[in-house]
Structure 1
Amino acid sequence: MSHFEAFPEQSELIVRSSGPQSTSIRFFDWSRTDESEVVFAVEAVSDDLRACIDTVTVSVWDGAGDLSEFLDALARDFHGWEGERVWLNNHLILAATFGSGGHVHLTWTLRSGIFPESWRCSLTTTFEAGEEMATFAVDARGFLHQGQTEDLPQH
């Protein structure tokens, strides 16, 4: 299982996995470049590694769409789905699968670039479908859309 911590006053969101190997994904250093683009840093930490991307840029003009909308869709589909769903950015990839027992497995891949010589780091977190995934989606939306209080669902 995973859990997350939202620290709105620090503009930080942490996703932690429990189990034999402690892993976490941390979103921090959020800023808005204009009304249609935000930038933030992402750090992946495990017992034996640490990887960080200082600048992940997400724009409404990206073909990938809004990460918060992707997470909202996963939360709405708590009955499950077949195959893998992917949200793609130049430096961050999120792949979601629905597993047995009603669990959503999120594989976070940080990459230094899109070229073959670029490094990659992947970690997986697991959420219960339904309320746990929905609460995470709301907190992720709060992090990604700071300062935009309209249309934010409450949990």
Structure 2
Amino acid sequence: MRSPDGADAMDESAGVVIRCQDSRAVGVKFCDRFSFDEDSVHYAVEIWAPGLTARVDEVVAWVWDGDLAPFLARLAADYRGWDGERSWQTNDRDLAVSAVFRSGGHVGLTWTLRPWPRAAGGWDASVTTWLEGGEQMASLAAGVRHFLAGEQQ
């Protein structure tokens, strides 16, 4: 996968990197993928923006559950746009993504990390990345799909 700035965004060490086209200082990284069994994939998600760095070390994608890649693929398929907000979250609610479409064919993805969502004193942090609705979204969906499957591109 290529990131919006043209740099390689997927390899064994890096995982998948998403950078905001409006502000290069805002981004998301999927990394440190591992699996204990055939039913789930575990990975880390990092987000950053000026003055913010946050990471959740063990996001879980269940094979039987709708994962992030199909959600992103549906957004890419609707490159002409939609009204309102679309959202997705992990079963444990530690990673959530909401998407909006703006004029000019751009998709805003708000990535929210929320470890220990039920614990007192828990925290959450969010960043929004803007991508082109067509090719960049399709490339992101493919990159996340390959990452979760443990495939190299």
Q: Which of the five TM-score ranges fits, normalised by the shorter chain?
A: 0.7 to 0.9
**Residue ranges of structure 1 left out of the alignment (5+ in a row):** none
One-letter identity of the residue aligned with 1:23: V
Name the counterpart of 2:142. Answer: 138
> Alignment length, in residue pairs?
146
Runs of 4+ with deviation above 6 angstroms? none
**Contact 1:43 1:52 survives alignment (8 Å):** yes
Equivalent AA in structure 2 for residue 86 of structure 1 = S
Which residue does 2:80 correspond to in 1? 79
What's the offset of the Cα at 1:11?
5.3
Q: Distance in 1 between matches of 2:23 and 2:140?
A: 22
* Unmatched tracts of structure 2, length 5 or more: none
2:20/2:131 contact within 8 Å kept: no
The CA distance in 1 between the partners of 2:112 and 2:146, in whole Å, is 22
Task: Provide closer, same or farther for how the CA distance between residues 23 and 76 of structure 1 changes in structure 2, counting only shifts above 3 A.
Answer: same
Which whole-Å deviations, capped at 9, do the CAs of 1:33-87 have from their partners, x for residues lacking one? Answer: 222210000111112011110100110233xx11111111111111111111111
Between 1:11-20 and 1:122-131, the stretch displaced more is: 11-20
Aligned mates of 2:26, 2:49 — CA distance in 1 = 4
Which of 23, 27, 34 is equivalent to 1:24?
27
> Which secondary structure state, in structure 2, belongs to the residue aligned with residue 75 of structure 1?
helix
Highest relative contact order (Cα 8 Å, sep 6+), 1 or 2? 2
**Matched residue SS, 1:119:** coil
Identify which of 104, 109, 134 aligns with 2:107: 104
Q: 1:109 to 1:138 in 2, by over 3 A?
A: same
